[in-house]
Amino acid sequence: MSHSLYPLRRQRLQRSTLAVPASNVTMIDKAAESAADVVFLDLEDAVAPPEKAQARKNAVEALNRIDWEARGKTVSVRINGLDTPYMYRDVVDIMEQAGDRVHMLLVPKLGVVADLYMVEALVNQIEQACGLTRRVGIEALIETALGMANVEEIARYAATSDSRLEALHFGVADYAASMRARTVNIGGLNPAYPGDQWHASLSRMIIACRAYGLRALDGPFGDFADPDGYILAAERAAALGFEGKWAIHPSQIEMANTVFSPPEAEVTRAHRIIEELRKAEAAGKGAAALDGKMIDAASEKMAMNVISLAQAIEARGQAPVAAE
């Protein structure tokens, strides 16, 4: 193991991230009662320009009115991009009027480290000026060719500075547009491509996240009338190590929670791995056998990942997923 280690910067249960347009108060209220682990109030793509100011007011009101933590929710706000005239007011109003109620800000279309630095500097100043005690985290969307080209540098900056960055999300829709990729459905597969055309980008992003202690989240799947397609996309992301996926429709929440929760049998096996390795350790051995397979220190690390996730889910009041 290298002497340079970057532990996870902030652990949050984030199997499902529900996107909610802040222009729709009814949808915000329903989101607060949903089973989503994280809700983000969207001020960006889901809100038309004439509605931006009102959506911002709605977000501030919802943050202050709803007890998100009592509902087991982490709440985030997706601000507008740095290339728009809305971003600075999004940050100022959210932080000044609800900075002690919001958990994270989600920054879209992050391209270079300087983009992150700008948002953080603004947040830092507002927290100091207002005497806020909660340290608001930052998530960022990698959804442009520039962002993906700089993803390692962005992740490295977060790990080697006092950055607020906690997580990166893969924004497949804008990424496809940036890459001029031909796609038939947001987040879906193009049958003309031999396999998964998003695999290389997802792999690159999660490597950067895991190397430097950031959570990695998969983005939207546009066809909410295709649950099978959503599940397959989620399973591919989970196989790579992603912690969760967006839900752009309430029907996708349960699917995300299920796919990114370890099955009960997997949790049981993880505990057995730890038990057998402890027995082997007591006998002076570094490895053991379980169900005809060798297990060792690497097995213990994988098992502890499963156990810690199961414990986080249990703390939220949900049992592991039973095997079908």
Which residues carry a binding-site annotation for Mg(2+)? 143, 174
Beta bridge partners of 77: 41, 105
Instruction: Tell me the two tokens of residue 316.
Output: 């939220």
Query: Taking the mean position of all CA atoms in its chain, how far away is CA 20?
Result: 15
For the four alpha carbons of 311, 247, 228 and 169, in that order, the dihedral sign comes to negative
Task: Quickly tell me which residue has 């190590």 as its tokens.
Answer: 241
Q: Pairing state of beta strands 293-295 and 288-290?
A: antiparallel
Q: What are phi and psi of 159, to 5 degrees?
A: -80, -25
Binding residues: 78, 143, 174
Please tell me the distance from the alpha carbon of residue 256 to that of residue 265, in angstroms, as a whole number. Answer: 19
Residue 216 has a CB neighbour count (10 Å cut-off) of 24
Which residues participate in the annotated binding site for substrate?
A: 78, 143
CB 171 within 8 A of CB 219: yes
Whether residue 108 contacts residue 80, with contact meaning beta carbons closer than 8 Å, is answered with yes
Q: How far apart are the first and last CA of the chain?
A: 38
